[in-house]
Chain A
Amino acid sequence: MSPSGKRSASFARLKLRSRGWLGSLLLAALAFGFVVPILWMLTTSFQAGDRMYELSTVWIPSAWHFENYSNALSRSPFSQYFLNSGIVAIAVMVSNVVFCTIAGYGLAKFRFPGDRYVLLVILATLMLPLEVTLVPTFLVIHGFGWLNTYQGLAGPFLIDAFGVFLMRQSMLSIPADYIEAARMDGAGELRILLQIIVPQCLPALAVLAVFSFRDNWDQFLWPLTVVSQDEFRTFPLGLVRFAEDYGSPPTEQLAIAVLATIPTVLLFVVLQRAVNRGFGLSGLK
């Protein structure tokens, strides 16, 4: 290679490397932006209550006030609130994983009259925010007599249009040959779904599980609408009530917020590998 050729090759390498560095820098800045509030929440939950409003942020408390946690938990029945949130979020997550998988399979791999319109109607429901459907949904739940019940809290979210779409898209990429090979091997439709299709959709299923758990774990507006009794209150409602009733130091509220973050983080950690692959599938981030 001529000297000028060598120079241009090394310049191209340098350019590529600097572009890589620039990308990493941008990602680091973005990650910093996401992590700072969480770190702030974490450290502030151990601060003394009166240090909360100081202008300068103290990242490492001079004294660690672990009692913020026990105080917050003793003032209000948060264990019950967490249990309620957990029951609702797990019920919705399991139901979404089951029903969205079945519906997605039907829409992805079977042709029936009007199948495209069924998909369009399902997708159309994605365009309507909860605020729009809140009153009619409330009236339905009220009509069922489900106010102040777990089924009232979870019912409207048991099958999610986004989940159906996500699973359909994931299954569309699975060649029909697998299904036909399994049919010839003697497998029935349910076995094909469970043993051939689902194992190939685990990333999408993991994304669906994390999303549906997260969305329902910290759901606020719907529980506020259908729950008036303390025994069915979920933790976001409990947190608001806690703030209103006790005017308690925000450090204790943040202690509850830290505890509330743990289940979602744990679920993400458990499913992390599959979720990371699934984000690519769903085009989500």
Chain B
Amino acid sequence: MAGVTLRDVVKRYGTVEAVRGISLDIPDKQFVALVGPSGCGKSTMLRMIAGLEEITEGEICLGGEVINDVAPKDRDIAMVFQNYALYPHMSVFENMSFGLRMRRIPASEIRKRVEDAAAILDITELLGRRPRQLSGGQRQRAAMGRAIVRNPQVFLFDEPLSNLDAKLRVQMRTEIKRLHQKIRTTTIYVTHDQVEAMTLADCVVVMNGGLIEQFGPPQDLYHAPRTRFVAGFIGSPAMNFLDCRLEQRATGLSLSLAGGLCFAVPVSRSERYRPWVGKPILFGLRPEHITDVRDHAREDRAEFTVTMDVVESSGMETMVYFMIGEAEVCGRVETSRAVEPGQSMQLQANLGHMHLIDPATNLVI
């Protein structure tokens, strides 16, 4: 097992720069998720690590060794493809053992490794079947089996759950997590699903436009995003963004929003935000921090009344949608307290969790 390091890695296709100078250090045994919208360069980066794409500039190191010019087969990296890429004319056993046969490992050792991997993945009884005779989840397991029998230094997963239905996706997500806990191999996992990234990974890399926006533990990304993109991309439903102006009043700093709303900035944050007084700014707050009124006493709570546009109940909780100025805002309220669409309701904003973003740089202040 080994860590992976990327130094100023660039990938160009003609004049198009898909990856724009990425540096990243993935420690040994970590589970790292690359997440971002389509076309952000995450799959290109994975393919460069695998050796399936040439690197235009920069260096990729595996266990401290530069592997830019090392052929994919010699990198000791195994990959699980989006469509599994199980050879259709071979049985699951043959699929899993193909890579070992290529490396001229003795037949008895091959059998042992395949059987061990099959036992871990609970596919022992499927070893004689062809891929077309397997369900989506079984194919997924067979593809993972093909990767783990090689006992590689690094696992790469390229959106492996995107072809599964929602229920199976959740189940396989848990299995991948369990597998990593069991074999502790460095894993790089590409997905466009931020829930998948947040639940699986020790560290999440958020990419956008060929660059890394932020890299860190999932909770850091969620609670302390550094850019507007990360703040908006991580979390579902997405963070609410509202244009506002920071003003100095007799009582302290306050945020002046559209529709005459005015929120007092908590004292603990006043010093941080003071340089932006009088400037237009972007106010961000997650839906779970806009709730029904629960706690009057706290100084970081602001109450306001709005008219509901849409009310969506999912049983455990209810999402409410309303307008503040031109912007649609989402809040999360207790189902028993939700009102009907068109009715007004008093809500509470938990300003202890607000984010202010400088619109000029899109950086969180």
Of all chain A residues, the one with the shortest Cβ separation from B53 is: A180
The reply to whether B99 and A196 contact each other, CB–CB distance below 8 Å, is no
Is A279 interfacial (CB-CB < 8 Å)? no
Residues of B within 8 A of A199 (CB): 89
A180-205 to B contact mask, C-beta < 8 Å, 1/0: 11111111000100001001100000
Contacts A180-B52, A196-B87, A200-B89 given; does A185 touch B98 at CB 8 Å: yes
Is B297 interfacial (CB-CB < 8 Å)? no
Residues of B within 8 A of A182 (CB): 87, 98
For chain A, residues 243 to 284, give those with C-beta under 8 angstroms from any C-beta of chain B.
none
Is B229 interfacial (CB-CB < 8 Å)? no
Of all chain B residues, the one with the shortest Cβ separation from A178 is: B85
B260 to chain A, nearest CB (A): 56
The reply to whether A186 and B102 contact each other, CB–CB distance below 8 Å, is yes
For chain B, residues 75 to 90, give those with C-beta under 8 angstroms from any C-beta of chain A.
77-79, 81-83, 85, 87-89
Most B CB within 10 A of own CB, among A175, A182, A186, A199? A186
For chain B, residues 88 to 107, give those with C-beta under 8 angstroms from any C-beta of chain A.
88-89, 98-99, 102-103
Tell me, in angstroms, the Cα distance from A180 to B73 when the chains sit together.
10
Residues of B within 8 A of A183 (CB): 52, 71-73
The reply to whether B85 and A187 contact each other, CB–CB distance below 8 Å, is no
The reply to whether A184 and B89 contact each other, CB–CB distance below 8 Å, is no
The reply to whether B81 and A181 contact each other, CB–CB distance below 8 Å, is yes
Of all chain B residues, the one with the shortest Cβ separation from A198 is: B89
A149-192 to B contact mask, C-beta < 8 Å, 1/0: 00000000000000000000000000101101111111100010
The reply to whether B89 and A177 contact each other, CB–CB distance below 8 Å, is no
The reply to whether A184 and B50 contact each other, CB–CB distance below 8 Å, is yes
Residues of B within 8 A of A181 (CB): 79, 81, 85, 87, 146
The reply to whether B72 and A184 contact each other, CB–CB distance below 8 Å, is yes
Residues of A within 8 A of B81 (CB): 177, 180-181
B143 to chain A, nearest CB (A): 9
Residues of A within 8 A of B51 (CB): 184
Most A CB within 10 A of own CB, among B85, B87, B89? B85
The reply to whether B73 and A187 contact each other, CB–CB distance below 8 Å, is yes
Chain A residues touching B, majority SS: helix
Residues of A within 8 A of B102 (CB): 185-187, 191
Tell me, in angstroms, the Cα distance from A187 to B72 when the chains sit together.
10
Chain A interface size band reads 10 to 19
The reply to whether A186 and B99 contact each other, CB–CB distance below 8 Å, is yes
Of all chain B residues, the one with the shortest Cβ separation from A181 is: B85
Of all chain A residues, the one with the shortest Cβ separation from B50 is: A184
B246-287 to A contact mask, C-beta < 8 Å, 1/0: 000000000000000000000000000000000000000000
Of all chain A residues, the one with the shortest Cβ separation from B77 is: A184
A186 to chain B, nearest CB (A): 4
Residues of B within 8 A of A187 (CB): 73, 98, 102
A2 to chain B, nearest CB (A): 37
A113 to chain B, nearest CB (A): 13
Tell me, in angstroms, the Cα distance from A191 to B79 when the chains sit together.
19
Tell me, in angstroms, the Cα distance from A175 to B98 when the chains sit together.
18
The reply to whether B72 and A200 contact each other, CB–CB distance below 8 Å, is no
Of all chain A residues, the one with the shortest Cβ separation from B47 is: A180
B54 to chain A, nearest CB (A): 13
A266 to chain B, nearest CB (A): 26
Residues of A within 8 A of B72 (CB): 180, 183-184
Pick the contact of B82 from A177, A178, A185 — CB < 8 Å?
A177
Most B CB within 10 A of own CB, among A175, A177, A196, A199? A177
Tell me, in angstroms, the Cα distance from A11 to B282 when the chains sit together.
65
Of all chain A residues, the one with the shortest Cβ separation from B156 is: A184
Most A CB within 10 A of own CB, among B78, B79, B146? B79
A203 to chain B, nearest CB (A): 12
Pick the contact of B83 from A177, A184, A196, A200 — CB < 8 Å?
A177
Residues of B within 8 A of A185 (CB): 73, 98-99, 102, 146, 150
Tell me, in angstroms, the Cα distance from A196 to B90 when the chains sit together.
9
Of all chain B residues, the one with the shortest Cβ separation from A199 is: B89
Residues of B within 8 A of A186 (CB): 73, 99, 102-103
Tell me, in angstroms, the Cα distance from A199 to B85 when the chains sit together.
15
B132-165 to A contact mask, C-beta < 8 Å, 1/0: 0000000000000010001000000000000000
A81 to chain B, nearest CB (A): 40
Tell me, in angstroms, the Cα distance from A196 to B95 when the chains sit together.
11
Tell me, in angstroms, the Cα distance from A187 to B77 when the chains sit together.
14
Pick the contact of A178 from B50, B79, B87 — CB < 8 Å?
B87
Of all chain A residues, the one with the shortest Cβ separation from B150 is: A185
B169 to chain A, nearest CB (A): 20
Of all chain A residues, the one with the shortest Cβ separation from B89 is: A199
B38-79 to A contact mask, C-beta < 8 Å, 1/0: 000000000000111000000000000000000111000111
Residues of A at the B interface (CB closer than 8 Å) are 175, 177-178, 180-187, 191, 196, 199-200
A-B pairs, 3 with minimum CB distance: A186-B102, A185-B99, A177-B85
A-B contact pairs, 9 of them (CB 8 A): A178-B85, A180-B52, A181-B81, A181-B87, A181-B146, A182-B87, A183-B71, A184-B50, A186-B103
- Given A175-B85, A183-B72, A200-B88, 15 more A-B residue pairs with CB atoms under 8 Å apart are A177-B81, A177-B85, A180-B52, A180-B85, A181-B85, A184-B52, A184-B78, A184-B99, A185-B99, A185-B150, A186-B73, A186-B102, A186-B103, A187-B102, A199-B89
